[in-house]
Amino acid sequence: MQKDSKIFVAGSRGMVGSAIVRKLQKEGFTNLIIRTSKELDLRDQKQVQDFFEKEKPDYVFLAAAKVGGILANNTYRADFIYENLMIQNNVIHQAYLNKVKKLMFLGSSCIYPKLAPQPLKEESLLTGLLEYTNEPYAIAKIAGIKMCEAYRDQYGCNFISVMPTNLYGPNDNYDLKNSHVLPALIRKFHTAKKEGQKTVEIWGTGSPKREFLHVDDLADACFFLMQNYNEKDFLNIGVGDDITIKDLALLVKKIVGFEGELVFDTTKPDGTPRKLMDVGRLNQLGWMARIPLEEGIASVYNEVKSIL
């Protein structure tokens, strides 16, 4: 990518897309194409076709998606598979038709089978059953990976795919109805502290383990790979280390300064027992995560506590 290359960041208002935009701007890239979902509905085939024919981007970061936590994924199952398939089908196909030099498709660690061996290696894809609660979303993301591979095989397109682990950072979603576990915990502990509550309820047993990557680290990895990686095989992006939900809750409790107790609601689902990414391939290419979890959560909390 050149500093004046025309770069389309799809999903630029979301947590991932906005982090990629910040990274590109920081690196001196000046010709970024930004559209809000109101300006360009990526689910609409005609709108996407017209946009690509007019703008002719050189590079595309496909970070747009309908996303949510366990509750949202399990409640809006049809929406999650339909909207994500439409977004990626439209963007990937138009990238091919309009001769985009390179496209990066961003997926999710939920593409892996529920009981895949840990840590999750790229070759575990499609070797077992998915976690039921997010199966529609996962199937859409798997289709995106396979679509990039198919366009590479048939048309020679330089379309690459990356699978980030659980993310957190600026522009996260703190709505308890459809947020992920870390922002939900930050919101719960902050509210409990503010309202003088004695307890905070945590969904499930607290035993599942999760890995968390700061979104600025993800953006750094995406930038690195867009410059240096041109292979068919998708890559995991993560930290290579994980933490139990209970220990995560205790860490957030400490950072927020909540003095009460944790109560675990074991009637609520745990989700996948563990989701640790094997990041050996990425590390061998020369990239490693840099932001420690406690430092990252503290910076996020300091940024958002005044508006929660």
| Helix intervals (H) in the chain | 15-26, 45-55, 70-75, 77-97, 135-155, 181-195, 215-228, 245-256, 280-285, 293-304
Pairing between β-strand 274-275 and β-strand 209-210 as defined by DSSP bridges:
parallel
Is 32 annotated among the ligand-binding residues? Answer: no
Is 196 annotated among the ligand-binding residues? Answer: no
Count of other CB atoms within 10 angstroms of residue 98: 16
Q: Is 229 a catalytic site residue? A: no
In the numeric block, the tokens 């910076």 are attached to 299
How many CA atoms lie within 13 Å of 128's alpha carbon, on the beta-carbon side? 12
Rounded CA gap, 281 and 285, in Å?
6
Is 12 annotated among the ligand-binding residues? Answer: yes
- Give the active site residue among 96, 137, 168, 229: 137
Sequence-distant (6+) residues with CB within 8 A of 178 are: 68, 69, 71, 72
Is 269 annotated among the ligand-binding residues? Answer: no
Is 107 annotated among the ligand-binding residues? Answer: yes
Is 46 annotated among the ligand-binding residues? Answer: no
The per-type count for the chain, helices as H runs and strands as E runs, is: 10, 13
**Bridge-partner residues for 10, per DSSP?**
62
Biggest distance spanned by C-alpha atoms of the chain: 61
Is 108 annotated among the ligand-binding residues? Answer: yes
- Tokens matching residue 65: 């998606």
Is 274 annotated among the ligand-binding residues? Answer: no
Is 164 annotated among the ligand-binding residues? Answer: yes
Is 180 annotated among the ligand-binding residues? Answer: yes
Rounded CA gap, 292 and 271, in Å?
25
Is 210 annotated among the ligand-binding residues? Answer: yes
Is 190 annotated among the ligand-binding residues? Answer: no
Is 165 annotated among the ligand-binding residues? Answer: yes
Q: Which residues are annotated as a binding site for substrate?
A: 188, 203, 210, 270
Q: Which residues are annotated as a binding site for NADP(+)?
A: 11-17, 106-109, 141, 164-167, 180
Which residues belong to the active site? 137
